[in-house]
């Protein structure tokens, strides 16, 4: 079989041939159909790094079919369509374990293989947004409309009657945010996003600001997020990979709250089930978030696109046939 690998050297993506993995009694073997490149983690923590990356860390999101089941595995059978947290590889062995919804989930007929690759992101979006406790009538600002921000935006729109203001510096992403349900989209490259949010909220600011930027420009966006919050509001920290400390202003955060990441992993099964339902119903619209498809043998070109021509790309899928 073949898989995507990252030997030593910056921007060094190759396809390597290895044996099909042998599974243990508690694993299933999956034949891949589609994988999704996670642009933040895979570009900034893999692609641009000089060191070699373990193949098991090259990819996070795979959809395919179960071809073999370990003797102690229950709940899965050969032929099942599944999504899994797994790397870009023709075949993967996945440990089912005590809590399978953390790593693998069976797919209903309405969820295509391409949509299924968004399962981890959609699950994250559901859980992150529920933890904001945003409710009817609230205004939620989503800073960053990449895959993470877009999934969060769609998840929170499905959560309650919430007004969402999407913010990005790329015009195509602002346009897509409106198409996917954002009530307002602010292009931070063309206008001051803080002034725009204050104008759109009658000078009060938002009940929730979600920081989903990371990487380049993350520090500036995080500082702006503090200025967008109304008193008593919540700044939800999701974006990472800035390679520098984020500027937290002690004066601005007074009377406001800062919350990072997942708070309660015990709710992941519920979040996973909700994510699958939103994908099945099209309320998280995976098809509209996909911008490019590459045969997996052209993974190097796919990574190059996400690094050098980010303004053209959104969801980039690797196709295994």
Per residue in 221-249, pLDDT tens?
999 999 999 999 999 999 887 778 889 99
Compute CA distances 74 → 28, 69, 84, 269, whole Å. 10, 9, 16, 17
What ranges do the domains of the chain cover?
A: 2-118+289-319, 121-265
pLDDT at position 99, please? 76
Per residue in 265-320, pLDDT tens?
888 999 999 999 999 999 999 999 999 999 999 999 999 999 999 889 999 999 99
Residues 2-118+289-319, CATH architecture: Alpha-Beta Complex (3.90)
Is 14 in a helix, a strand, or coil? strand
Per-residue pLDDT tens listing for the chain (321 residues): 999 999 999 999 999 999 999 999 999 999 999 999 998 889 988 999 999 999 999 999 999 999 999 999 999 999 999 999 999 999 999 999 877 778 999 999 999 999 999 999 999 999 999 999 999 999 999 999 999 999 999 999 999 999 999 999 999 999 999 999 999 999 999 999 999 999 999 999 999 999 999 777 888 999 999 999 999 999 999 988 777 888 999 999 999 999 998 778 888 999 999 999 999 999 999 999 999 999 999 999 999 999 999 889 999 999 998
End-to-end CA distance of the chain: 12
Report the CATH number of the 121-265 domain: 3.40.50.720
> How big is the CA angle at 29 (ends 84 and 279), to the nearest 5 degrees?
25
Beta bridge partners of 91: 31
Name the phi and psi angles at 137, rounded to 5: 90, -15
Is 34 in a helix, a strand, or coil? strand
Beta bridge partners of 30: 66, 92
Residue 242 CB-density burial (10 A; 0-12 exposed, 13-18 middle, 19+ buried) = middle
**181 and 161 Cβ atoms separated by less than 8 Å:** no
For residues 288, 177, 37, 301, the Cα torsion angle rounded to the nearest 10 degrees is: 80
């Amino acid at each position: 079989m073949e898989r995507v690998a990252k030997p030593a050297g910056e921007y060094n993506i190759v396809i390597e041939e290895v044996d099909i993995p042998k599974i243990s009694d508690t694993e299933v073997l999956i034949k891949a159909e589609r994988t999704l490149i996670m642009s933040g983690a895979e570009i900034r923590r893999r692609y641009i790094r000089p060191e070699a990356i373990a193949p098991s860390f090259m990819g996070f999101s795979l959809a395919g079919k179960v071809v073999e089941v370990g003797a102690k595995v229950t709940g899965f059978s050969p032929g099942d369509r599944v999504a899994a947290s797994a790397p870009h590889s023709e075949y993967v062995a996945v440990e089912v374990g005590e809590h399978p919804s953390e790593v693998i989930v069976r797919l209903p007929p309405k969820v295509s293989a391409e949509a299924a690759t968004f399962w981890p992101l959609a699950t994250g979006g559901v859980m992150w947004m529920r933890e904001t406790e945003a409710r009817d009538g609230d205004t939620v600002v989503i800073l960053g409309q990449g895959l993470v921000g877009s999934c969060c935006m769609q998840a929170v729109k499905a959560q309650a009657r919430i007004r969402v203001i999407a913010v990005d510096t790329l015009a195509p992403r602002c346009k897509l945010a409106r198409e996917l349900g954002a009530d307002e989209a602010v292009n931070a490259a063309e206008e001051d996003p803080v002034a725009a949010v204050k104008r759109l909220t009658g000078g009060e600011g938002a009940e929730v600001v979600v920081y989903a930027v990371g990487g380049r420009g993350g520090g500036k966006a995080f500082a702006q997020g503090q200025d967008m919050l109304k008193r008593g509001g919540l700044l939800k920290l999701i974006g990472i990979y800035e390679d520098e400390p984020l500027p937290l202003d002690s004066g601005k955060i007074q009377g406001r709250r800062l919350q990072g990441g997942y708070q309660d992993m015990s709710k992941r099964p519920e979040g996973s089930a909700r994510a699958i339902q939103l994908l099945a119903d099209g309320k998280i619209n995976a098809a509209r978030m996909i911008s490019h498809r590459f045969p997996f043998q052209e993974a190097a070109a796919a990574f190059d696109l996400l690094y050098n021509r980010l303004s053209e790309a959104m969801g980039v899928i690797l196709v295994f046939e």
